[in-house]
Chain A
Amino acid sequence: MKKDIICTVCPVGCNITVEGSDDEVTVIEGYSCKRGKEYGSQEFLHPVRILTTTVKIEGAAEELLPVRSEQPLPKELIMDCMKVISHTVVKTPVRRYDAVIPNICNSGVDIVATGSFE
């Protein structure tokens, strides 16, 4: 298969064309630097995204706790993760970077707090 990918590593935004199969990249062109080549390959084979959202919190001055995936998650898992997060309620106290949902959707990635509440 062939994909047209816009590189997001730097503001230039090179148009990278990648060809290959599910397991490997056979042709990759259009990048201008090493980082771009890496990004193009990754995006072709296993696109990942950092997930940032909010979680309901009880006992805090605010209703919501901002959270993020500690590492990027596989793009195809994002909406499933959102479902799990929407049913989660966290209780105070919470410190920044506490894992509020460890190993979400069996991805090996934790959802951690980005704010702190007493």
Chain B
Amino acid sequence: MYEVTCDVAIIGGGPAGLSAAVAAKKEGAEKVLIIERDKNIGGILQQCIHPGFGLSYFKQELTGPEYAGRFGEEALKLGVEVLRDSMVLEIDPGNQMIVCVSSENGMTKVTADSIVLAMGCREKTRANIRIPGTRPAGIYTAGAAQRLVNRQNIMVGKNVVILGSGDIGMIMARRMSLEGAKVLAVIEIMDFLAGLTRNKVQCLDDFGIPLKLSHTITGIVGNERVEGVYVAQVDENKKPRKETEEFIACDTLLLSVGLLPENELTRKAQISISDVTNGPDVNQYMQTSIPSVFACGNVVHVNDLVDNVTVESMQAGKHAARYAMDKISDNPKEIQCVTGNNVRYLCPQRLRLDDQGKVKLFFRVLAPEADVRLQAKSNGRIIAVKKERLVNPGEMCSIQIPVGELDSDVVVEVIKEAVF
């Protein structure tokens, strides 16, 4: 077996893994190794050729490859090593070991003092949302179609319907249109746009693509290849109203219906996973329930801005390095972060009290609200407040809280302001 030792091993060389690697190196870790299953680093950003990255971190609007390129180059310059074309098969934190495999090296054992999980996420499928109808060729998740179009130079179809008004769905609407396909409609079950308004303007309105809110797909037609879809309005309970059903002829259906953190390896290693995020629960060091294992990026919770991924991942990388250098104490006192009014989940879910610094808590709301106050409370006392004009589930919120004064759980809630 091919054997490699390192201080910090990072699973995944996408934006999370790269940011973590850079931070780990800067913190002083000697050998930082990224294990990447693709032939190049950059992860999903390689196929995200559109702009929208780096507005906050670089104060510039970059495309995915540019963002990945900057971190990739910095990582390599700092001496981060990469095992390419290598798929991790197993994580064994108890033995400080990762097993991976590649054509070049065969079965590989990586020994590491600390591990950073940065595997990203996968897409929800047609079956996950149980769309009735036939099962022809021509049904793709938006990300898979994006990979085919942007990396493999392959066009998936000519007449397209897209289910889901999240950013990836809208981005693909534009991409397909630019490459000569006809996008007939974007269908969205909620009564509000799932992604950024900017994308509606530049991806749908620019190309005359109709957005059908409060609609869903009630059936797929076609035995060999998609021939069309049935679309209907939904009622307040999101149930289709049969009398509104109409047929849209098409040969391709793209699904942008949700992302799931890819935690198979995490589960097998028996690391504790949150039911709400479907990712490992972590503290502000991005440390999981196993002290030597850290996690960052979409594998922890699905993000919308890669800039936030970088912030969290740098925490993970920094503390993974500190762990490897024996600078982190075991068994610290921890408190829980608790969801209050209109808060769906918080990340991190736990806070170490032995670190007195401020922590940026990320969270998502359950429902859109305007003119609100984001509030963190502990022991009945308000410890942080932030005003927002608009919050919605599609855009990550954050609030900075001081850990120094805490001794019991923190509740984060959204309060409607009477007057702004």
Q: Which residues of A contact B (CB under 8 A)?
A: 6, 8, 11-13, 49-54, 56, 61-64, 66-68, 75, 78-79, 82, 96, 114-116
A116–B390 alpha-carbon span in the complex (Å): 39
A114 touches B197 (CB 8 A): no
Q: Which B residues are in CB contact (< 8 Å) with A62?
A: 40, 151
Binding stretch for chain A, among B63-71, B116-124, B221-229, B283-291: B63-71
A116 touches B69 (CB 8 A): yes
Which residue among A6, A54, A56 has the maximum number of chain B CB atoms within 10 Å of its CB?
A54
Binding stretch for chain A, among B128-136, B199-207, B238-246, B334-342: B199-207
Mask for B39-79, Cβ within 8 A of A = 1, else 0? 11000001001110000000001111110010000000000
Q: Which residues of B contact A (CB under 8 A)?
A: 39-40, 46, 49-51, 61-66, 69, 150-153, 175, 178-179, 196-198, 200-202, 205-206, 389-390, 395
Q: Which B residues are in CB contact (< 8 Å) with A79?
A: 178
Q: Which A residues are in CB contact (< 8 Å) with B196?
A: 8, 11
A64 touches B150 (CB 8 A): yes
Q: How far is the CB of A39 from chain B (nearest CB, A)?
A: 11
Q: Which B residues are in CB contact (< 8 Å) with A52?
A: 49-51, 63
Given known A12-B390, A52-B50, contact A114–B150 (CB-CB < 8 A): no
A66 touches B152 (CB 8 A): no
Number of A-B pairs whose CB atoms are under 8 Å?
74
Q: How far is the CB of B26 from chain A (nearest CB, A)?
A: 22
Contact of A78 among B63, B65, B150, B178 (CB under 8 A): B178
B39 touches A61 (CB 8 A): yes
B152 touches A63 (CB 8 A): yes
Q: Closest chain A residue to B149 by CB distance?
A: A54
Q: Closest chain A residue to B197 by CB distance?
A: A13
Q: Which A residues are in CB contact (< 8 Å) with B50?
A: 52
